[in-house]
A and B are shown apart, each in its own frame.
Chain A
Amino acid sequence: MSNANVAFVLNAHLPFVRHPEYPRFLEEDWLFESISESYLPLLRMLNRLKEEGLSFQLTISFSPPLIAMLTDNALQNRFVHYLQQHIELGQKEVQRCKDEQPQFLEMAQHYLDGYIRNLHEYEDLYRMNILDGFKALEQSGHLELITTAATHAYLPLYEEYPQAINAQIELGVQSFLTTFGHPPKGFWLPECGYYPGLEEHLKYHGIKWFQVASQSMLLSPDKATYGGYRPVRCPNGVAAFPRDYQATSLVWSNTTGYPTDNVYREFYRDIGYDLSMNYIRPYIHEPEVRVFTGYKYWAITGDTDQKVPYVRAQAMERVKEHAKNFHYVVNNRNHRLRATMGGAQPLFFLGFDAELFGHWWYEGIDWLEEVIRTSKDRTKLVTPSSFLAEDATPLQTVRPAFSSWGQGGYSAAWLDGSNTEYYRHIHKAITRMEELATRFPDQTSLKQRFLNQAAREVLLAMSSDWPFIIYCRTSVEYAKKRIEGHLKNVNLVYDDMCKNAVDTEWLVKAEKRHTIFGDIDYNIFNSERI
């Protein structure tokens, strides 16, 4: 029996959050939690497997905002401080658990060891730039690295603005090229958001493949002969890989997915909330804002607050069972599919947010490692590019349907009653930027910097994160401040440029605050340029 072809594709993305104007800023913890709990442990795991000589291939998309933050000196230094603080807390926790809660001692020590290892690797091995670690894994043939939209914009809501779509893709490709030294073959569509025709922009920038939501094949106006089990070619030749909803749900579902198993670690119970303010105060945010510290000792247990202590060994046993189950499910389906596909090879395309592994699902990286370790003679891990290169069956030409992986399968999450009000302003900001780029092409000096900053602000306003956060009601205040702030900044540049003026005070402060896309050229918004 032939092994199932499985493509794991991880989307590593966080919104651009950088506030050096404050000694410590709450939302910067999103980045630090992700590096500490997902990216560094993922690198560690992949390097371990590589050193052991295991054969595997994964795909990771790094968004330009994440790349900008991972390579930002101020944030790098703050991350070191974050780790040092967590090490100090861990040392206190080990002592406290010895004295008061010995049942948690093992985990306290485990977390402490993890932070110490993170600090060592971050400073000494990667010299504060973990992207070098991923680049090395790409060079050794274990990873395919790809890009995504410049600020992870949900593209279907900008279909009417081809110049903005082009800017999102072009800067995504440029950011990748600058970071990794070669153009990307693949493009992660933010939120799997696809509209018919988007592939034309992707092709223009040399993209060979992108991913789409599961339902985009069944709802296509064409008959996709192999349903969602093989990539297709769009009419312009770019390949589209449908995400396998069923296989993805084995992990992704928050009702039945592996991460919901009761023996796994509970994400929400954290000493940042559970211990006394006097004890925890130095490790939370001022004045007394409780935060997650990463020290979590309880198992999911069930829908109850009567949690049982987390037992690492028990969780690791369950990881093995879940990895085995994963292989069984995909290979069982692979066997049945091959009988109906007339010799064509099925492909199971699994796309996830990278931060799911480690940060959210604490055992997720262990599970991925176990899946890779036990894949020999069972499951073939491929990348979309390697599949396209090796597969002998020609791809069928199919037009994927408009779709996303969001709630409802379309644009509802990003165009909800809670966030619709912003689109009139974002769209206006785009048209104003286009107008500025056309009226004032090829400026130099201050005006060039002023217009470049406006272009940054437009792109940052387009990020899919802000409307989604507002929709989910997680960090609403911050998301609103960000989106409104960027839009106000665009309006200021527009008004000033119309008066042939440049506000240098504003410009210096804005450049200092939003350092992303240091080499941006605002002419990217000039519709006469392409």
Chain B
Amino acid sequence: MILINIDSLSTNELQHIAQMEGLKGWKTLDRDELISALEDWFEEMDEGGIPVGNGHGTYGRYTNNLTNHRGKAAHFKDLPRTGELPPSYYDSTIHLLLRDPQWAYAYWSLPETIQGNKTSFDDEDHSGESYVIRVHQTELATGTTTSSDIAVEVKDQEWNIHLPALGCSYSVELCRLHPDGNEEVVARSASVETYLPYWADRIEELAMDRDLFLLHFSSLVTKTGEVAENVVLKDLALTVSKGVLS
């Protein structure tokens, strides 16, 4: 539903959105109440608030602001015999996707997640076993590897992995821990890399030299002093501008 510039929507349009979203009592609400009710409604749906909100903040692509007319109107039908998507697949795999240099997203599948502990497709009883995600962090400069474990449950299928440092390679393993103390690596992901920016440990150089700042930073700052949205960049901006840019 369209939420950008919600303040500038007409009452008719707000009523239409409220109706489409199935808000009770929308006919009796005045404009301010409609805005408030819609904001609450979307907050409730997402627990994170309206991502665009009141026409402010950055927005990646204008194309996707194209009109959403439909609301809850009927949708097209699937092709014949297509069935539903399975919750997972009958294999033991784990994948790691880089969300940004500080976070990665891991998802995995295990046969016992689908079938339950006692009816796993391999006919083995997996109750009593536990699982961990083992995160391997290798410094690219030195080759030094450290590992840490995240305990997960058999019903889990995904996890957000914090990446504590730049300049490292990360991979994850899905490990099954047996009651007798043995452990088994069920699946291993490909690695993802985060690189240390050249300027990361030379930031003072940038801060002290106007020409360098102009060349390397000015293209990333708007005329009103907003730095391009980027977690690594923001850290650099705070340092280089001694808190002026944020």
A residues sitting closer than 8 Å to B (CB atoms) are: 13-14, 19, 21-22, 25-27, 29-30, 33-34, 156-157, 160, 191, 195-196, 213-215, 217-229, 242, 244-247, 249-250, 253-256, 266-269, 273-274, 285, 289-292, 300-301, 303-305, 307, 329, 333, 336-337, 340-341, 352-353, 355-356, 359-360, 399, 401-403, 405-413, 415, 418, 420-421, 423-425, 427-428, 465, 468-469, 471-475, 477-478, 481, 484-485, 487-489, 491-492, 503, 505-506, 509-510, 513
Contacts and interface: CB of A to CB of B under 8 A. Distances in A.
A469 B64 contact: yes
Interface size bucket, B side? 35 or more
- Interface of B (DSSP majority class): loop
B5 A268 contact: yes
A496 to B, nearest CB: 9
Given A303-B55, A305-B7, A360-B62, A333 B75 contact: no
Contacts of A223: 198-199
A491 B83 contact: yes
B228 A506 contact: no
A273 B51 contact: no
A434 to B, nearest CB: 14
12 contacts: A27-B69, A196-B193, A221-B197, A274-B12, A300-B8, A304-B7, A305-B9, A305-B11, A405-B60, A465-B63, A472-B65, A488-B79
A245 B219 contact: yes
Contact of A488 (B2, B7, B84): B84
A20 B2 CA distance: 26
Contacts of B84: 488
B99 A412 contact: yes
Given A255-B56, A268-B2, A303 B7 contact: yes
B82 A156 contact: no
Given A191-B60, A227-B216, A221 B51 contact: no
Contacts of B219: 214, 227-229, 242, 244-247
Interface string B50-83: 0110111111111111111111110110111111
Contacts of B196: 221
B105 interface: yes
Interface of B: 1-5, 7-13, 16, 31, 42, 45-46, 51-52, 54-73, 75-76, 78-85, 88-89, 95, 97-101, 105, 107, 109, 157-158, 190, 193-199, 211, 214-224, 226, 228-233, 236
Nearest to B199: A218
Given A253-B222, A424-B88, A13 B63 contact: yes
A301 B51 CA distance: 23
Given A360-B65, A420-B158, A477-B72, 9 more contacts: A227-B218, A268-B5, A268-B8, A303-B5, A353-B61, A407-B59, A468-B60, A492-B81, A513-B79
A392 B165 CA distance: 40
- Which of A34, A246, A424 neighbours the largest number of chain B CB atoms within 10 Å of its CB? A424
B103 to A, nearest CB: 8
